[in-house]
Structure 1
Amino acid sequence: MEPVILATERLELSLPGESDIDAIFDACQDPDTQRYTSVPAPYERRHAEEFVPRVAQQWTEGVHLTWAIREGDVLAGTIGLYRLDGHSAGEIGYWVSPWSRGRGVVTEAARAVIDWGFSPEGAGLTRIEWRAVVGNTASARAARTLGFRYEGLLRAGLAGKEGRVDGWVAGLLRTDDRTPQPWSIIPN
C-alpha cells in the first residue's frame, strides 16, 4: 500500500521522515509515552532512526500504517492503524508529544484516520479497536470522545515493558453513531 496524506483544519498526517528523527527522539523521552505505549524504554536515538524506515516498509506491507501528526512545522505525535488483519479490522494507536497535549490534537487526527480507515477508498474497515494500558485515562478519554464503546478489561492482555499488563479495550464499528458513550472506567 502506498502512504496516504490526510489533512484536517490544522493538522497534516503523513509518513514520518528523516527530518522528524530529532522530534521523535525528544518526544519519546517523556515518561508517560514510555509507560503507556510500546516505545522502548529507555528510548535511544537509534530507536527513532530505525523507526522512520520501518514505518515506510510497514506501509508497503499494509499491516501497520503510521502517520506523523504535524501542526505546521511541529511534530505533534504519531497515529496509526495497526494489526490490519485482512478481515476488515484493525487497531488505532497514538502518542502525542508533551508539547502538543491538551489541545485536542489526538481527537482531530484520529477522526481523520478513522474516517479514512472506514472509507471504501481507504482501508475499508468494519471495526477499529482501541487498547490501552489500564490507567491511561487520557487515551481513554480521547477514545470515548471519538465514540468508541468500552468493551472490557483484558487481564494480562497487553505486552508491557515488564511483562504482561492489564489493558482496556474498546471498539468502534463503521455503522456506530460516533457520539461519546459513557464508560464505567472513567468519570463523565
Structure 2
Amino acid sequence: MSIVLHAAATPSAPGLLLRPWRDDDAEALLAAYRDPVLRSWTRLPVTTRAEARAFLRRSRQGWAADRRFSFAVLEPTAEGERLVANVVLKEVTPGRPAAEVGYWTAAPARGRGVAPRAVAAVTDWAFARFAAGGLTRLELLHQVDNPASCRVAEKSGYAFAEVLRARPPFPRDGHRHVRHRP
C-alpha cells in the first residue's frame, strides 16, 4: 500500500500527509482516543492495545479487499510527524454509484482546518480512483447534534441533502451530505 495523498498547507497550518495506517501507528491511535470527545462520537472507540491492533488489522483488510480505505492523517512537527486525523472511504463496491466518507480529528487538531482538507483530499482521490467503477457520489453522514461535522462537510464541498431518522445502531437523527463527481 504505497498510496500517499497530500493536502496543501494554508497560511496558518502546515500541509498534511495521508497514508494507509501502519502497525507502528498503534500508540498514536491510542493517544488520539484518550480524548473523551472523540470517544463520544465513535461507535468503536480504541481504548486498549488489543483494540488498536484490531483497528489496524481491519484497516489492512479493507485495503486488501479494495472496499474500505482508511488513511492516517499526519502533519509535520519538529520531531517528525504527528497523527491529527483519520479519513476513511468505505462501502466501495464496483458498479455502485455511491460510497461513504467518514473521519475523525484528534483533539489538538480541531478547529484548524485539518478535517476539511483531509476529507477533500480523499474525496478527490476517490473520484479519480473509482470513476471507471461507476463512483459518481460520495456521502458524509453525522449526527444532527454535531454542528462541527456539518461545517466540515460544507467546507469539503458536501451539500446538505437530508435528515436521516435514528435507527440502530445510531441513537440520534443524522444528516446526510452529498458530493457528486465533477
TM-score, structure 2 as length reference: 0.85
Could you report, residue by residue, the CA deviation over 1:27-77 in whole angstroms, capped at 9, with x for unpaired residues?
11222212222323x732321121112201111112211000010210111
- Give the match for residue 100 of structure 1: 109
Match among 165, 173, 177 for residue 170 of structure 1: 177
Identity of aligned residues (%): 32
Aligned residue type for 1:75 = L
- Give the match for residue 91 of structure 1: 100
Aligned residue type for 2:148 = A
1:123-134 maps to which residues of 2 (within 5 A)? 123-124=130-131, 125-134=135-144
TM-score, structure 1 as length reference: 0.83
- Give the match for residue 5 of structure 2: 6
- CA 1:158/1:143 → structure 2, altered by over 3 Å: closer, same or farther? farther
Cα distance between partner residues in 1 of 2:58 and 2:157: 30
- Give the match for residue 52 of structure 2: 48
Gaps of 5+ in 2: 9-14
Contact 2:117–2:156 at 8 Å: present in 1 too? no
Question: RMSD across aligned C-alpha pairs, in angstroms?
Answer: 1.7
Shift of 1:99: 1.2
- Give the match for residue 21 of structure 1: 26
State the number of aligned residues. Answer: 168
Contact 1:133–1:158 at 8 Å: present in 2 too? no
- Give the match for residue 72 of structure 2: 68
- CA 1:157/1:117 → structure 2, altered by over 3 Å: closer, same or farther? farther
- CA 1:13/1:158 → structure 2, altered by over 3 Å: closer, same or farther? farther
Cα distance between partner residues in 2 of 1:108 and 1:143: 11
Cα distance between partner residues in 1 of 2:37 and 2:119: 19
- CA 1:139/1:3 → structure 2, altered by over 3 Å: closer, same or farther? farther
Contact 1:159–1:165 at 8 Å: present in 2 too? no
Cα distance between partner residues in 2 of 1:65 and 1:104: 21
- Give the match for residue 119 of structure 2: 110
- Structure 1 consecutive aligned stretches of length 4 or more whose deviation exceeds 6 Å: none
Contact 1:79–1:94 at 8 Å: present in 2 too? yes
Cα distance between partner residues in 1 of 2:2 and 2:142: 25
- CA 1:168/1:3 → structure 2, altered by over 3 Å: closer, same or farther? farther
- Give the match for residue 43 of structure 2: 38
Gaps of 5+ in 1: 176-188
Shift of 1:16: 1.0
Aligned residue type for 2:88 = G
Cα distance between partner residues in 1 of 2:157 and 2:43: 24
Could you report, residue by residue, the CA deviation over 1:117-156 in whole angstroms, capped at 9, with x for unpaired residues?
111xx12220000101221111110101122111111111
